């Protein structure tokens, strides 16, 4: 009798493990009961956040893949504004592709740039996302990532009912937003991404827009101050050194390879930058050459003298740390050049 019970517990443990793996949860993550995100049971907030933190992605070398997180952030904004995440591909294609072009790695040609939303629209986990054609039939994630094809089919997606139920709680929506931004981007981009997703920071703040329980790599204490001191409390690109009452203002420690993308908190991966140049550097409007001069993306434009001052940085040598400390290492400069800098890509209109 005892033995039979033990066998049945072992069978149950294996079944739970299979379900967990199928649902994309890491091994060892325990589902509280049969069901879970992938079987239509009542999912908990923690399970949802865990699923969002473990989106499957095709990893090609070190290429960033923020496509699904950006589609999700846009859907969160849509849900917050309208109470429903339902959207036809044709409606999502423009705004989501623009976000991927702005915050994702560079793309090679204009037609790809216009249709980048197709990839996450097709591949977003079915545990989170229901995709149907014009006749209400499910669209498989094996279908081609083709914008015209999705339009032709009348493909319409919607976050799963369980996911929408949880997101109706403003605290959960704020936590989901925080998690996606923290895991895939860099703080300087946060206000821009929220604005594009039509997520109001003030509303999120009120709902408890705080760090989530999902573990992220901690930042090293004292890193920012060390970087600002090393660069003499001035922007390494423009020399801005404003202070108020003796405290630097508008000056930040920037990672060359983003912290969220495994960039270390080291001087060899850092620069002191003014807020403007930090944001433009994280957006890929500004970059670095191998011999540590400033590059300006050919897609950067400005009408005013102040705006054109950014373009005038082209070719200017970066300031070096005053104490002879390390300058940005080639491996991190190369990462930024490949993953962030907008070099020659044609942006979607």
Contacting residues toward Zn ion, per CB under 5 A: 235, 237-238, 240, 274, 277
Least distance from C-beta 312 to Zn ion, angstroms? 12
Least distance from C-beta 248 to Zn ion, angstroms? 12
Nearer Cβ to Zn ion, position 49 or 274?
274
Nearer Cβ to Zn ion, position 40 or 315?
315
Least distance from C-beta 285 to Zn ion, angstroms? 12
Least distance from C-beta 235 to Zn ion, angstroms? 3
Least distance from C-beta 296 to Zn ion, angstroms? 13
Neighbours of 348 (CB within 10 A): 21
Least distance from C-beta 117 to Zn ion, angstroms? 33
Nearest 5°: phi and psi at 129? Answer: -140, 130
Nearer Cβ to Zn ion, position 159 or 235?
235
102/288 Cα distance (integer angstroms): 18
SS percent in the chain: helix, strand, coil, step 5: 45, 10, 45
Cβ-contact 283, 329 below 8 angstroms: no
Cβ-contact 111, 78 below 8 angstroms: no
Question: Which tokens sit at 121?
Answer: 């629209």
Nearer Cβ to Zn ion, position 211 or 308?
308
β-bridge partners, 254? 271
Nearest 5°: phi and psi at 102? Answer: -75, -40
Least distance from C-beta 329 to Zn ion, angstroms? 21
Cβ-contact 160, 127 below 8 angstroms: yes
CA angle 237/259/63 to nearest 5° reads 95
Torsion sign across C-alpha atoms 263, 264, 268, 269? positive
Nearer Cβ to Zn ion, position 110 or 309?
309
Cβ-contact 155, 93 below 8 angstroms: no
Nearer Cβ to Zn ion, position 210 or 309?
309
254/63 Cα distance (integer angstroms): 20
Nearer Cβ to Zn ion, position 23 or 313?
313
Least distance from C-beta 237 to Zn ion, angstroms? 5
Question: Which tokens sit at 248?
Answer: 């630097």
Nearer Cβ to Zn ion, position 100 or 237?
237
């Amino acid at each position: 009798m005892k033995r039979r019970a033990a066998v049945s517990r072992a069978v149950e443990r294996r079944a739970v493990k299979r379900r967990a793996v199928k649902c994309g949860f890491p091994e060892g993550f325990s589902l509280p009961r049969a069901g879970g995100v992938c079987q239509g049971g009542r999912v908990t907030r923690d399970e949802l956040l865990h699923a969002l933190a473990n989106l499957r992605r095709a990893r090609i070398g070190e290429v960033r893949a923020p496509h699904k997180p950006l589609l999700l952030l846009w859907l969160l904004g849509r849900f917050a504004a309208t109470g429903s995440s339902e959207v036809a591909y044709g409606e999502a294609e423009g705004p989501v592709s623009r976000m991927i072009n702005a915050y994702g790695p560079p793309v090679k040609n204009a037609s790809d740039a216009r249709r980048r939303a197709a990839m996450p629209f097709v591949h977003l986990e079915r545990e989170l996302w229901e995709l149907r054609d014009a006749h209400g039939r499910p669209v498989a994630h094996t279908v081609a990532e083709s914008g015209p094809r999705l339009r032709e089919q009348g493909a319409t997606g919607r976050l799963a009912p369980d996911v929408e139920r949880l997101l109706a709680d403003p605290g959960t929506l704020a936590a989901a937003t925080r998690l996606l931004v923290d895991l895939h981007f860099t703080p300087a981009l946060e206000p821009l991404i929220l604005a594009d997703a039509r997520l109001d920071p003030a509303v999120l703040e009120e709902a408890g827009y705080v760090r989530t329980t999902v573990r992220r790599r901690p930042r090293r204490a004292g890193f920012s101050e060390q970087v600002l001191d090393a660069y003499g409390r001035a922007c390494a690109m423009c020399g801005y050194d404003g202070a108020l009452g003796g405290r630097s203002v508008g000056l930040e420690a920037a990672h060359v390879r983003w912290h969220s993308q495994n960039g270390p908190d080291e001087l060899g991966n850092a620069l002191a930058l003014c807020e403007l140049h930090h944001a433009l550097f994280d957006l890929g409007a500004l970059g670095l050459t191998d011999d540590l001069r400033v590059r300006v993306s050919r897609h950067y434009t400005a009408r005013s003298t102040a705006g054109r001052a950014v373009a005038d940085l082209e070719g200017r040598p970066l300031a070096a740390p005053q104490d002879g400390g390390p300058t940005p290492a080639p491996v991190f400069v190369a990462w930024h050049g490949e993953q962030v800098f907008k070099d020659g890509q044609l942006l979607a209109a």
